[in-house]
Structure 1
Amino acid sequence: MRYVVWLVRLLVFVLVLMFALNNTGAVDVRFYGDYYLTGVPLIVVMLVVFVLGAVFGLLLAMGSVMRRNREIKRLKREITRLEDEIRYPAGTTSPEAPETVAPLAPL
């Protein structure tokens, strides 16, 4: 399976490389207003747009990833609490309860 994944990656890389090499012509990039660049290779424009899109997509996904991580931490705390309830049912003292600590001898 590992070899198939690497073969697919290599195939995608070769296809993207061939596409890039076929699109090296110079283009004019016009921004808002009177700002523009002339003679920029098309592959550079495509690479910049791809990187900006990837960064924007990661920023959009970061909110849901952070929310999912908070939920996982909350559920782990809940599991720990429930495991403690199973180990030390109501009416028994847990090892960290103050009743189990021996009192200090008077001086």
Structure 2
Amino acid sequence: HCNGDGHWGLGWIVRKEDGSCLGATTRTVSARTAMEAEALGLVVVLQSINQQEGRTIIIEMDSKVVMQAIQRHEYPRVYWGHVARNGGDMLAKLSNV
């Protein structure tokens, strides 16, 4: 959610394959819109995944629009579309996601 000053709070949970929690993290990003924050959040998570080598990773998001853009490789010509494209490129390089 937006903190009122352009900073958005993000959070994610890391779980084992059986669903039990390994840990949780929160972070803030600077964004103008919720879509930008969602796309930036995905990139932040993907950057942290690089540290989880050898584990199978499943990413779940509540932003259907960002996920569809990545799945279809159709990115709007706005800032969040550029960020989502970067996230899609990162996903393509990760074999454990």
| Structure with greater strand share of residues | 2
TM-score bucket of the superposed structures, by smaller chain: under 0.3
| TM-score with structure 1 setting the length | 0.23
| TM-score with structure 2 setting the length | 0.25
Q: Greater relative contact order (Cα 8 A, min sep 6): structure 1 or 2?
A: 2
The structure with the larger Rg is 1
